[in-house]
Amino acid sequence: MRTVTHWIGGKPVTGESTRTSPVWNPATGEQQAEVLLANRADVDTAVRSAAAAFASWSQSSLSQRTKILFNFRELVNARTQELAEIVSDEHGKVVSDARGEVQRGLEVIEYACGIPTLLKGDYSDQVSTGVDLFSFREPLGVCAGITPFNFPVMVPMWMHPVAIACGNTFVLKPSERDPSASELVARLWAEAGLPDGVFNVVHGDKESVDALLEHRDVAAVSFVGSTPIARYIHERGTAGGKRVQALGGAKNHAVVLPDAPIDYAADHMVGAAFGSAGERCMAISATVAVGGAADDLVAAVSEKARAVKVGPGREADSEMGPVVTAAAKERIVGLIGSGAEQGAELAVDGRGLTVPGHEDGFFVGPTVIDRVRPEMDVYREEVFGPVLSVVRADDVDAAIALINANPYGNGTAIFTSSGEAARRFQRGVNIGMIGINVPIPVPMAYYSFGGWKDSLFGDKHIHGPEGVSFYTRAKVVTSRWPHVEQATGASYHFPTAT
């Protein structure tokens, strides 16, 4: 059985802890590896390695950092297929989808390649007679990233390229469910010329996360995962004086108005609901069918849901793979059942789907649940599976009110041909990322990604300009170079410009 080890100080490390967790192949239901689960001592080794590397990395020139980032970009680009296959084998998503995740991670590296421009400061000449004022930003120290299973390449890449470009060192604690991609990423950083200790990986569960949160040498924590853990990370991390951004779960609604082309909207509904088996924080999990659009929309979506080709992620014609674990499957199946029991209508029921030759795989078929109401469990919970709930609303204002009553605020979308309705929607919803006839409005790397309400704790969104701001702190210098021996006499009033 292959064992996934930590990566500390530029090499694979087994560490002290002998606890392990199974890594499954979701398409077959078999265990394919085990991953080490770090204890406090292992985390301490990684943080010490990163702290030691900070001394020189933080002093490296922008040119040196940029060269390494460009090298890293080339290596990740060249190894996209390999990374995607590792992701597919452990997560379950289809390889073409996994390639898309690597591409979106690559875009963050490309953004970080522009670090000389991103770190330019401000300069004000002669703010007072003979006095200049300028500001620049410095790195924080050791930054930690704690990431979810659903994007094992992209989500860590929202963090480490930006943090490292800013002059920090990094300790990544990836999801224990699909840990192997981080091992290859660490090797690529090393191959790119990154000095040992600047990028480290510790695998683990709550014990390692708590050790990072309590470590005095960790300056900042970026977290992406479910809302209860995000809230916990934010509370614990900030209580320890750390800078924290903690992105949580989601319930993303897509509103379809009667003036939207039904077939176009339905295609986007199924793509956004069932792509990656619904295991995306920006998946559409609730369609809000407004007015007369509802019946036709449910019919169109149901037909397309039945046609989705479900199969192993590695098979070229699979459009949707399995979910990540048997426990995830059981939870999703339970929530579908609760919807039916609580009075919703199962337009398409994905429970009981079997894939020939993969009977033990963790497959759940695309599911469409009509006439869902806000008090039902399948609406209140983040299902995180291939389940699309349809909620009906009378008009766009009722749809906006429904979305705003939801505790999550990650993404939302509207499908309409009315600019007026779209504008009312974009201004009215309390949501961080909005799509207009775009179902998954993930911003490009040079904008920042983040939700509102229970979808993000902290005040900085991730990557883009807010990412650079998160991983740096400002210094402001007020500077005077008087003529030698120019006596001005002591002054006791508060300094003002003259």
Residues in contact with ligand NAD by the rule CB under 6 A? 146-151, 155, 173, 175-176, 205-206, 209, 224-226, 229, 247-250, 281, 382, 384, 410, 451, 455
Hey, is 285 helix, strand or coil?
strand
Comparison of 142 and 266: residue with beta carbon closer to ligand NAD:
142
308, 366 in Cβ contact below 8 A? yes
DSSP symbols for 363-417: ----EEEES--TTSHHHHS---SSEEEEEEESSHHHHHHHHHHSSEESEEEEE-S
Point out the residue whose Cβ comes nearest to ligand NAD: 225
Supply angle C-alpha 309, 310, 316, rounded to 5: 70
> Shortest approach of ligand NAD to residue 180 CB, angstroms?
14
Q: How far apart are CA 224 and CA 375, in angstroms?
A: 27
The letter for the amino acid at 9 is G
Q: Which of 113, 143, 166, 281 is catalytic?
A: 281
Residue count (the chain) = 498
CB of 90 to ligand NAD, least distance (A): 12
> Is position 166 annotated as part of the catalytic site?
no
Q: Which one, 54 or 408, has the nearer CB to ligand NAD? A: 408
Q: Where are the beta strands (DSSP E) in 61-177?
A: 122-128, 131-139, 142-146, 169-173
Q: CB 150 → ligand NAD: shortest distance, Å?
A: 5
Q: Minimum CB separation from ligand NAD for residue 209, in Å?
A: 4
The encoded tokens of residue 44 equal: 């301490």
Smallest gap from Cβ 498 to ligand NAD, in A, equals 50
319: number of Cβ within 10 Å: 17
Find all residues with CB under 8 Å of 356, minimum gap 6, and list them: none
Question: If we measure between CA atoms, which residue out of 323, 237, 230 comes closest to residue 277?
Answer: 323
* Long-range contacts, stretch 327-332, CB < 8 angstroms, 24+ apart: 328/279, 328/362, 328/384, 328/385, 329/362, 329/363, 329/364, 329/385, 331/385, 332/364, 332/383, 332/384, 332/385, 332/386, 332/387
Nearer to ligand NAD, 370 or 382 (CB): 382
* Two tokens, residue 386: 């291939």
Contact indicator for 43, 212 with CB cutoff of 8 Å: yes
CA distance 17 to 262: 55
As a whole number of angstroms, the distance between CA 373 and CA 411 comes to: 20
- Report in angstroms how near the CB of residue 381 gets to ligand NAD at its nearest: 10
Q: In this structure, what are the phi and psi dihedrals at residue 474, rounded to the nearest 5 degrees? A: -90, 145
Closest CB to ligand NAD among residues 69, 244: 244
DSSP 292: G
Q: What are the catalytic residues?
A: 281
